[in-house]
Amino acid sequence: MLNPLKNVLQEHGLKATTQRLTLLEYMMTHDNHPTAEMIHNELPDISLATVYNTLEKFVEKKLVVIIDGISDGKRHYDAADHPHYHVINTKTNEIIDAANFDPAPLIKAAQAATGLKITEYRIDLYGVEPSTTEVHS
């Protein structure tokens, strides 16, 4: 029986090397939105350059998405294995997955406003926890 991850790579036109299989498995099993450096620290047998190059290939093939705009200045990655959006705590840089949103009305409105057929989307929201010291009247 073939490895399902090997099939995923082949379906996306990628050779199923050991490094690619290892990195894809890592991305599919970790929801910590890692940086390339974080992945390299956990998978030190794969060079940092290979981690970067493989992640870029995965982004190109839409297996992985990039989460930018975090105040730590680093590029974070997430598996594109299921539809969801990200909520980013701008105070702590925590990236939270959420899927309780139907994008259909937004997509329909965007298509109506632009005349373009929306083929993909990515939504990142930013916020902070409400202050617990606020005075309410």
Distance, CA of 60 to CA of 65 (rounded, Å):
9
Q: Tell me the pTM.
A: 0.81
Q: What's the total number of domains in the chain?
A: 1
In the chain, the largest separation of any two C-alpha atoms, in whole Å, equals: 65
Whole-number percent of the chain with pLDDT over 90: 63
Question: In the structure encoding, which two tokens stand for residue 25, read together?
Answer: 């498995």
Is the residue at 84 inside a domain? yes
Q: Which domain holds residue 80?
A: 4-127
pLDDT at 135 over 80: no
Residue 82 has pLDDT above 90, yes or no: no
Q: Is the distance from CB of 21 to CB of 3 less than 8 angstroms? A: yes
Tens of pLDDT along 4-22?
A: 999 999 999 999 999 999 9
- Per-residue pLDDT, 101: 84
For residue range 39-56, what is the model confidence (pLDDT) as tens digits? 999 999 999 999 999 999
Write out the E strands in 1-137. 64-67, 76-79, 85-89, 95-98, 124-127
Query: Looking at residue 96, which CATH number applies to its domain?
Result: 1.10.10.10
Q: Per the domain annotation, does 111 fall within a domain? A: yes
Would 136 be classed as within a structural domain?
no
Is 33's pLDDT higher than 80? yes
Q: Return the CA Rg of the chain.
A: 18
